[in-house]
Amino acid sequence: MSTAEVHELMARAEELPYGEAKTVLVEDALRRAEATGDDRLAFRVRMSLTTAYQYGGEPAKAFTTFSRCLAEHDRDPGRHDAERRLLWHFKWIVHSLTLFAEVPLDRTYAVMDDMERRYRAGGYSLQAVYHYRNAVARHVGDLDAADEWYAKWHAAPRDELSDCEGCDPTGMVRHLEVRGRDEEALAVAAPVLGDELTCSEQPHGILTALLPVYLRTGRLDEARDAHRRAYRLVRSSVADLSLVGEHIWFCAVTGNEPRGFEILQRHLGWLDRAPSPCDAMEFAAAGALLLRRMEEAGAGDVAVRRPGGAGEVSAAELRAELAGRAREIAARFDARNGTSYQGEKVERMLADEPVVEHLPLTAHDRRRPAPAPSPARPAPEPEQGRDLSGVTDLDALLDAADEARSADDLDGALAAWRRFDEVAGDRRLTVLQTARRADGRGVELLTGGEYGAALAEWRRAVELFAEAGDRVREQSGLSRIGALLFATGEPEEGIALMRAAVAVLDEHDAGAPRAFDARMRLADALLRGERPEEGLAVLDGLAPSRPGDLGEVELYRGRGLGDLGRDAEATAVLRRACTAFREAGRPDRLAEAAFLLGRMLAYGEAQDPDAALEAYDEAVANAAAGPPGLTPAAHAERGSLLLACDRAADAVADMVEAVAGFTALGHRPQAAYARLDLAAAYLSTGRPFEAAEVAEEAMPVLAELDDPGAERRCRFILAHAQRELGEEQAAEVFTSLAEDEDDPVAAAQLLETAADVLTGLDKDALAADGFLRAAEAFAKAGDPFGEVRCRRRGALCRAWGGGGDRALAEMQDARRALGELPAQEHGAEAAWEAAALDYDEARMLATLGRLADAVEPASRAVDGFAAVGADDAAQAAAALRDDIRGRL
């Protein structure tokens, strides 16, 4: 084994986030370091492994590496020059010892005493010692002692062994929150909340600690923002399992059970590899609280996926499991500590009640959509409902119900039927009266969603109409039965019934409302059944007689013409429908006609975005009078069109309303598509945080819908949002997009973008590997310049990552690839790339200290850039050359 291999492994590990992959590399490096016989190297790697265990979610393993390093240091204090680092590690060990119930409390106190002795001997402040004595006192529930240690901690001077400027106040906030000293906690946190903290535990540590403080003090906006910011940072690290549990608790007490359930489901598998029993206890208790809140809301039967494909369990069953687990672990801690504090804390959490009924977390997070604007032209005030209290004529009451139905006044019809039932009492009814009341009862049942019962009542009414010899009402009833059969899965039988009814009514009741309505039902069914030619034929010759009927005919005709691709005719007809509904004072129908007109103008042959937006404006303004789903649909269509017109800022408000409306109605697929457009709008307006959140909300539903195009678009938006947020996961998403890409050039470009993300985060060794993969992909795709560019950039990253010799070899690979290009076909482009290669090679050689070798490529770069007219690049190369000469 060579020390070079150890250094290479450690360099690779340095660029990885804390977690299993990083820890495995450092463990491998330690094995190799021990095999070299270089005890100093092995000591340094072992110290790094303690850090990897601590931040990678395996603190128990850190006990062994820390103890061995401490023993080696004590044997020869001057050999490793590691006293200060070991004293820092003491803080981790003291804290971690409290997290394992099987570790005797006396051992924790002994290690803490040893820590204090060493800090005193080294001349360091005892500020950190007091900090961790406070933490141990809080853990066992000795809050009076914790107050005393807090006072000493707060008064002691900070020094180089104090926790960082974010973690130290976080610990103080934890103490003050437990003691109910909320205003003091806010004051302690205030100076650091606006700072750029570089610690791996911040800012999510202090933001999470402040959640209960914000809620108790009514600072709901701050609480919401703290949750959103902090959870995003903790969700990828199992080491932060207890913090994840605190965010589940937050969701449970703020009326955000659906989001809390998503978080619980996402992290449930971590419970089996929790960093410590204490972390498992806190996560389990928070999960049980959340599931209790779901049970109380009637969602106890919701299925929860067990980790690892182990089946499903109901929310109620899982609640019992998690509560039992939390209580069992708490009992072990209390037995170890000789107190009841942990058990009481768990019970308090399990019994927690909401702090607020519902705290919206985003603009589109509403339990019901925002009130729609008033219709642009409201319908005339309805006449005061007819007073039927004095009417005792049964036929007159049935006539009043029919008149109300004909005018789309369902409330009036219901009132008339109720009065009929009061007057009729036990009186003997005629067959016709019985039939008419049965017909009305079918309408009542249909309105209540009882389709089978409505169908049975209408069939009874039809038989009675036939018995009474009222053929018009009989056929009208058969028409309605046909429409209901069509809507409930029996389309052919339904259409046959409606056709037959139309034929009879045309003969016996032509031009009357019942004949008109029967034709409209048939036309609607044919249009919905994708038989537009037949539907249009049914509409021919209709003579509207009631206000709004003309609009209905034109609306249906517009639908049919649009289905046939006769866009110009459809547009003209829909315009007439809108005019007719405006004149009739029917905002409910105007909204639908304007909506369809907007779609025709947006997507038809002669696209007119401005006119389409005007139509959508009218649809949105009147949608409140229409069916419930129309309002979010109109917002979604207008928002999508605004987005397509590069008006993303204007689109945001519409898409917010669309998401909120569809979600409130339980329309998950439509809400997911609206979220997709909202994420795109957020990304385009410089709001990557919101874009990432919304894209992540949409992703699971889009995956369920089996819509690869939409899912891919969502991942693409997410990757760009993560990139702007500086999140390393962006590289993983871009790489996965490349793997799914059919176009070889596009796949190579995505791999290059993934490498770009890594180099932007100073993950140079990983970026170098990424650029190499991209170069190979460009070569396979037949893009030689892409290959050269990526080989050059990868070599440069390799050099920045410490791989000097390999970097120089990879730069030569780039030069060979460039040399294989026919110069006559790629003159200026090849010359520019050659100059860029010279420039980067000179930078690399200068970085490696080979200044004399760097002069020639720097000079060639100056000449090369100048030859192709790249004056700025030539000046940069000249400055590099002059700097190298000056350093020589």
The residue-averaged pLDDT of 262-289 equals 95
Burial class (CB in 10 A: 0-12, 13-18, 19+), 749: buried
Provide the 10 A C-beta neighbour count for residue 64.
13
The tokens for 757 are: 């993300």
pLDDT at 385: 57
pLDDT at 1: 62
The tokens for 538 are: 């049914």
- Return d(Cα 597, Cα 178) in angstroms, integer: 60
Q: Chain-wide mean pLDDT for the chain?
A: 92
- Return d(Cα 830, Cα 219) in angstroms, integer: 60
Long-range pairs for 806-812: beta carbons < 8 A, 24 or more residues apart: 807/768, 807/844, 808/841, 808/844, 808/845, 808/848, 810/768, 810/772, 811/837, 811/840, 811/841, 811/844
pLDDT in tens, 309-347: 788 899 999 999 999 999 999 999 999 999 999 999 999
Pair 12, 25: CB distance under 8 Å:
yes
Pair 18, 56: CB distance under 8 Å:
yes
- Looking at residue 831, its amino acid is A
pLDDT at 878: 93
pLDDT in tens, 149-200: 999 999 999 999 999 888 999 999 999 999 999 999 999 999 888 776 677 7
- Return d(Cα 544, Cα 45) in angstroms, integer: 88
Pair 855, 885: CB distance under 8 Å:
yes
* DSSP-derived 3-state class of residue 23: helix
Residues, the chain? 888
Provide the 10 A C-beta neighbour count for residue 704.
12
How far from chain centre, in Å, is Cα 56? 25
Q: What global pTM score does this model have?
A: 0.81
pLDDT at 384: 47
Q: Quick one: what percent of the chain has pLDDT higher than 90?
A: 78
Q: Quick one: what percent of the chain has pLDDT higher than 70?
A: 97
Burial class (CB in 10 A: 0-12, 13-18, 19+), 288: buried
- Return d(Cα 638, Cα 367) in angstroms, integer: 22
- Helix axis angle, 3-14 relative to 20-36, nearest 10°? 160
CA distances 685 to 271, 610, 661, 691, Å, are 38, 21, 22, 10
The residue-averaged pLDDT of 676-682 equals 97
The residue-averaged pLDDT of 518-547 equals 91
pLDDT at 263: 93
Q: From 515, 581, 504, 506, select the one nearest 548 (Cα to Cα).
A: 581
* DSSP-derived 3-state class of residue 613: helix
- Looking at residue 301, its amino acid is D
Which pLDDT band, with edges at 50, 70 and 90, does 822 fall under?
low
pLDDT at 368: 52
Pair 264, 284: CB distance under 8 Å:
no
Pair 270, 254: CB distance under 8 Å:
no
pLDDT in tens, 20-54: 999 999 999 999 999 999 999 999 999 999 999 99
Q: 593: which residues sit within 8 A by CB, 6+ positions away? A: 551, 554, 555, 558, 574, 577, 578, 581
Report the 3 state secondary structure along 524-575.
Answer: HHHHHCCCHHHHHHHHCCCCCCCCCHHHHHHHHHHHHHHHCCCHHHHHHHHH
pLDDT at 428: 93
pLDDT at 826: 58
User: Does residue 203 have a cis peptide bond before it, meaning omega lies within 30 degrees of 0?
Assistant: yes
Which pLDDT band, with edges at 50, 70 and 90, does 725 fall under?
very high
* DSSP-derived 3-state class of residue 264: helix
Lowest average pLDDT, out of 250-254, 364-368, 532-536, 537-541, goes to 364-368
Pair 859, 878: CB distance under 8 Å:
no
Residue with tokens 């009841």: 340
For residue 779, is pLDDT > 60? yes
Q: 163: which residues sit within 8 A by CB, 6+ positions away? A: 91, 128, 131, 170, 171
Pair 568, 537: CB distance under 8 Å:
no
**First-last CA distance in the chain:** 37
pLDDT at 823: 58
For residue 630, is pLDDT > 90? yes
Report the 3 state secondary structure along 731-794.
Answer: HHHHHHHHHHCCCHHHHHHHHHHHHHHHHHCCCHHHHHHHHHHHHHHHHHHCCHHHHHHHHHHH
- Return d(Cα 430, Cα 348) in angstroms, integer: 68
Output the DSSP codes for 158-190.
P-TTSPPTTHHHHHHHHHHHHTT-HHHHHHHHH
Phi and psi, residue 742, nearest 5°: -80, -30
Residue with tokens 């990757």: 719
Residue with tokens 């060990």: 93
* DSSP-derived 3-state class of residue 303: strand
pLDDT in tens, 365-410: 766 545 545 544 444 444 445 788 889 999 999 999 999 988 878 8
Pair 698, 676: CB distance under 8 Å:
yes
- Return d(Cα 291, Cα 313) in angstroms, integer: 12
How far from chain centre, in Å, is Cα 372? 26
Q: 229: which residues sit within 8 A by CB, 6+ positions away? A: 203, 204, 207, 689
The residue-averaged pLDDT of 509-516 equals 88
Element (H, E) at 118: helix 105-122
Lowest average pLDDT, out of 43-52, 217-226, 496-505, 792-801, goes to 792-801
Element (H, E) at 423: helix 410-424
Q: Looking at per-residue confidence, does 386 or 226 come out higher?
A: 226
The tokens for 22 are: 């990083």
- Helix axis angle, 827-847 relative to 804-819, nearest 10°? 170
